[in-house]
Structure 1
Amino acid sequence: MAKVYMITGASRGLGEAIALQLLEEGNELHCIARTRSDRLEQAALKSGASLSWYQADLGQAANEGGAADELLQQIFRNFDTGAFSGLRLINNAGVLNPIGPAHRNDAADAAAHIAVNLTAPMALTSSFLRFTEALAADKRILQVSSGAGRKPYAGWSVYCAAKAGLDHFTRCVKLEQDALPHGAKVASVAPGVVDTQMQALIRETEDDRFPSRSRFVELHEAGGLLIPHEAASRLLELLEHDRFGEEPVADIRDWVR
């Protein structure tokens, strides 16, 4: 049977690459993003998959009480949960700014960052689990994390803190879900260094704001970045594997098939 996928940040980069690979006949994709992807919509027409867009600013939604529940309620009203073999939530949306030492960061910018990278996936995860608690379906949540959640970088204090928070949130959720009769499988997974607009932004950042910039420039010049399609393929292979969720925090580069 086909599956239902709810994907944030699906209009470009890694999120778009993930969605493109899920366009199989019978699958339902519910994509949450600020804008639409013309490429994804055209591909969906040819695939036989169902694609629905929910245009939302996750940073704003994260700061509005009940917004995540309203968004997920809207999605769940659009399909019959019993008609699918699995339900998936992929929290992929993310931002990088502010970049720079903590003493130069604006508090409002930091709060907006945390809203997108941490509060929004926490809220959507909670809503997804609440709406599916009684279902015996195969339920899985993939949090797209980063190695920066496990390794500190000067100039990335906000980004590192948000991803570390997402990792530890997922550890706690796993303990809770493992104790339930129909609990979901959850994992926070670092996808490796992927060639997206975020990486372009890093390479354009001044050294005094991000001292590790040269490392990422060298990776790019040496062809060491994963293309989004390859990173998406690895993440989805893990998501659908029987071992998904055994470890709540993982790095796709360490996963042995």
Structure 2
Amino acid sequence: MRYVFITGTSRGLGNALLEMFQEDRIISISRGRVETEYPLYKEFNVDFLDEKKLESTVDEIFGSIEPEPGDEVFLINNAGVVDPVKSVESIDAEGFLNNYKVNVLAPALFMKGFVNQFKDLRGAKRILTVSSGAALNPTEGWAAYCSSKAAVNMVSDVLRLEMDRLDYPIFTATFRPGVIDTDMQSDIRSSEENEFPDVERFKKYKETNKLYNKKTVAYVLKRVITSDNFAFSESFSISDFL
């Protein structure tokens, strides 16, 4: 039996992942109810901006299943936001904080909850966090996004080191999905050029069909997290597969 916890399933890549894992027991975690034709084993609606509520719900989420020895349990940290798209001098404290709550704090709390619940389970236990090339490449207007993705990468890398001492290790990695044709990209293309100078480049991605289809990315992500090689790398990129 395979259990798959997926965050950010209401739209975009997260929603496409529901189709990819439809034969497994999916535990959906999102802010709102998810519209899907595929069966969900369990569904949790949590506001990632409410860190106290989120922290109090994490144990309930991971305690909602009772895997047997030999079962597989996966966590896909997919939920993320790009806003605020502004220069550093224009971002207020709330803008930084809200971005970090979704992009760093929430996945970190999910990793913590996953480890506490399943560290003694005999079976494949894997955490894959959706990252971004922005974690490696500074981009004007994306101070919050770039820094938050870099931060969550490091959380994943540190956890990977800490898991080495377990009798039944939990393997963690990050995945850079490339530029996907989702609502997030639509939001990026609507940015003001004075705040996001690269906006024309992203518009050209759309005009020249350079965006990845979300189902294609979901397929690759599934290949990554189910691969026998997952345990041997801390980072994967869609460019390694396409």
Q: Normalising by structure 1, report the TM-score.
A: 0.89
**Are residues 1:59 and 2:49 paired?**
yes
Deviations 1:48-103 (A, max 9, x none): xx43210101121xx317x43x4333234433210762001111001111001000
Residue 43 of structure 1 is matched in structure 2 by 38
How many Å separate the matches in 2 of 1:75 and 1:248?
Answer: 25
Partner of 2:147: 161
Matched, 1:28 2:18: no
State which drifts further: 172-181 or 133-142.
172-181
Partner of 1:250, secondary structure, is strand
Closer, same or farther in 2 for the Cα pair 1:76/1:121, shift >3 Å? Answer: closer
Give the root-mean-square deviation of aligned CA atoms.
1.6
Q: 1:34 to 1:108 in 2, by over 3 A?
A: same
Deviation at 1:207, TM superposition (A): 0.8
Structure 1 residues 114-153: aligned runs within 5 Å: 114-153=100-139
- Indicate if the aligned counterparts of 1:4 and 1:84 stay in contact, CA closer than 8 A: no
1:111 aligns with 2:110: no
Q: Which residue number in structure 2 is paired with residue 18 of structure 1? A: 17
- In structure 2, what residue type is equivalent to 1:8? T
Task: Name the stretch that deviates more: 136-145 or 247-256.
Answer: 247-256
Task: Report Cα offsets for 1:14-44 as digits up to 9, x if no partner.
Answer: 00001121111xx211111111222x1x332
- Match for 2:26: what amino acid? L
TM-score of the two chains, using structure 2 as the length reference: 0.95
Unpaired runs of 5+ residues, structure 2, are none
In terms of mean alpha carbon deviation, does 214-223 or 83-92 score higher?
Answer: 83-92
User: Quick check: 2:62–2:114 contact (8 Å CA) kept in 1?
Assistant: no
Task: Please list every run of 5 or more consecutive structure 1 residues that lacks an aligned counterpart in the other structure.
Answer: 45-49
2:225 & 2:238 partners in 1: Cα distance?
Answer: 11
> Residue 230 in 1 paired to residue 216 in 2?
yes
Looking at structure 1, the residues matched to 174 and 79 of structure 2 have their Cα atoms a distance apart, in angstroms, of 13
Is the CA contact 1:31–1:54 (under 8 Å) kept in the aligned structure 2? yes
CA distance in structure 1 between the aligned counterparts of 2:163 and 2:18, rounded to whole angstroms: 26
What percentage of aligned pairs have identical amino acids? 31
Q: How many residue pairs align between the two structures?
A: 242
- CA distance in 2 between partners of 1:127 and 1:194 (Å): 29
Distance in 2 (alpha carbons) for counterparts of 1:13 and 1:83: 33
- Do residues 8 (structure 1) and 3 (structure 2) align? no
User: Aligned letter for 1:166?
Assistant: V
Partner of 1:200: 186
Give the partner amino acid of 2:200: S
